[in-house]
Amino acid sequence: MAVFADALAVDDPPMTDLAPNAAIYFAADGYDPGAKGINGRRVAGESFIRGFFRHADAPALMSFTPKPADQALFTRLAGEERPGMTVQHLPLRSPQRLAEPGTLFFPSPNFAGECWRRAPHGDASWSICGITHTISTRGVMQGFFDLRMAPQMEWDAVICTSRAVQSAVLTQMDMIDAHAKARFMANPPPRPQLPVIPLGIDCGAFAPDAAAGAALRARLGAGAADTVFTCIARLTPYEKFDPLPLYIALAEAQRRLGPRQKLHLALCGIFRDAFSRKVFEEGAARLMPDVGFLVLDGADAAERRAALSGADVFTFPIDNIQETFGLAPIEAMAAGLPVLVSDWDGMRDTVTPDVGIRVPTRTLGPGHAVSEALRHFGGADTYPQYCALTSQMTAIDIRALVEAILSLAGNPDLRRRLGAAGQARAAALYDWRVIVPQMQALWGELAARRGAATAPALPPAGRLAVAPSPFAYFASYPSAAGGFAGVRFASATPQPPLPVAEMLVLRNYTGMGRSTERPEAFAAMAEAIAAAGAPGISRDDLASAHKYNPLTVDRLLIWLLKYGYIRRLPAVTPVQSRK
């Protein structure tokens, strides 16, 4: 039986037995960097959806989409990656359909809203699986708190893309649960599962292009004995990495190498603003004038390929909490480059000694940044300011960075060994053909947990804590409230000046894209009441005659009353009925 009266919801035929499949919550903002702008979340999202389409072991590719345009993009991408595969769209108006695949994959850890969306249909009806990207924003931190306060279940999950991220999430969960226990004097319910599954890539997409690489080296003026370092990243000193320590280290390494070998740095990325451009470009000119320097357009795929094809070493000296995983070093590994990175977050998992060098990092203790956390939370500081301040108190061991640069610059054989090992590691551990099965196995585990659980009771209809029915929430506003069970109705005299259909056109509810019921249903109900004549007809008889849910009939009747097309008849008492 449907939980809600909704005469407008028309469902497609259901599909069953799809576990461990998942419907993908698909909004273009999370998957279309070409149209929405390049950032790490969208680049990773597009890579995931294409990888999932290619490698998912499922009978259908299913979306849960907010807009028709999102459905069209999902269908197009699916057709590009998996021609002929069945594609099915589950509309937001019919969330109960998510029970068919059994899992909703949500491209963020902030899925408290989806827990509430599920609640009226049963908390054990399906699982919800989110994934971490950047976790340092106020929105994400608040989102984890909201998740623990929502009807989140232990058969839900947040995929943590690295052990460092998992540790950070557990740290905040500990704080949230300690608060809840103290506030409500009760133990909080079980947490979501927090497995570590890394992000993936299509390793084959990063095969080097010798011609593009040679052209880049020519642009740099790099000779055969020179060493070219590259970095592909967002070029913002406050929200990705401070380039000046890298410049200082390259300059010192160049001084020690002398004229026998020249170092070059090719940065490939996008400047978010003039401030960032000035820091990167003026810093290079003043701090490493003897090192070759070139900025490539990170929005251009050909420039990104040239950077990975012409460089000798990929460097990623991250010192910023905005970075959570570090996809770019894995892409460089897939291209066969050795990697020189900071010992930071996800790179502590991905970059092992056989594929590159991790340079030690250090921050301060919790007490050193209490005011920064509170200013960020309270809105006194922007997110870029918050990230910049934490970066200002984060150090990369600059001496170790110099020695790593010299080690890689002076040993082509080492670079080749590290590059070959990195290419093999990327293919074995980080290609989507390896990652997608891990995600599907997780969804299967969540289904098993869900199946073994005792389903919690449904919340009373209309009394969902964050989305109460307006007629429960505002019950004190009107003179009276409630449906029309047992009430009889007759046509009113006189009638309004316009027929029902014309009045609806004049009022134009559908101009806002929504109406409580179909326009023709209002007219049909008015006609049925008129046909009943003076004795009138009851709400329940109308529902039976038209095969409508009684609640739907109530929704029609109250509008007809509002506009004066019908009137309520007095209740017939037992004494009156004997006359």
Domain layout of the chain by residue ranges? 23-199+436-452, 203-429, 482-577
| 296 contacts 268 by C-beta, under 8 angstroms | yes
Which one of 3.30.310, 3.40.50, 1.10.540, 3.30.70 gives the CATH number of domain 23-199+436-452?
3.40.50
Host H or E run for residue 315: strand 313-316
> What is the predicted pLDDT for the residue at 81?
95
> What is the predicted pLDDT for the residue at 456?
84
Q: Tell the residue number behind the tokens 């407008």, with chain if given.
A: 8
Kindly indicate whether the domain formed by 203-429 is annotated with CATH number 3.40.50.2000. Answer: yes
Report residue 488 as tokens.
């009889």
Percent of the chain with pLDDT over 90: 88
**C-alpha distances in Å from residue 479, one per residue of 492, 557, 560:** 22, 17, 18
| 13 contacts 94 by C-beta, under 8 angstroms | no
Is 23-199+436-452's fold the same as 203-429's? yes
> What is the predicted pLDDT for the residue at 38?
67
Burial 358-383 (b: 16+ CB within 10 A, else e): bbebeeeeeeebeebbeebeeeebeb
> What is the predicted pLDDT for the residue at 574?
54
> What is the predicted pLDDT for the residue at 9?
29
> What is the predicted pLDDT for the residue at 10?
27
> What is the predicted pLDDT for the residue at 36?
63
Residues of the chain with pLDDT under 50: 1-19, 575-579
Q: Are strands 488-491 and 463-464 parallel, antiparallel or unpaired?
A: unpaired
* Cα of 2 vs its chain's centroid, Å: 29
Q: Single out the residue of 101, 81, 110 nearest to residue 446, CA to CA.
A: 101
Cα–Cα dist 110/27, whole Å:
15
Burial (CB < 10 A; 0-12, 13-18, 19+), residue 80, is: exposed
Q: Single out the residue of 558, 559, 554, 560 nearest to residue 542, CA to CA.
A: 554
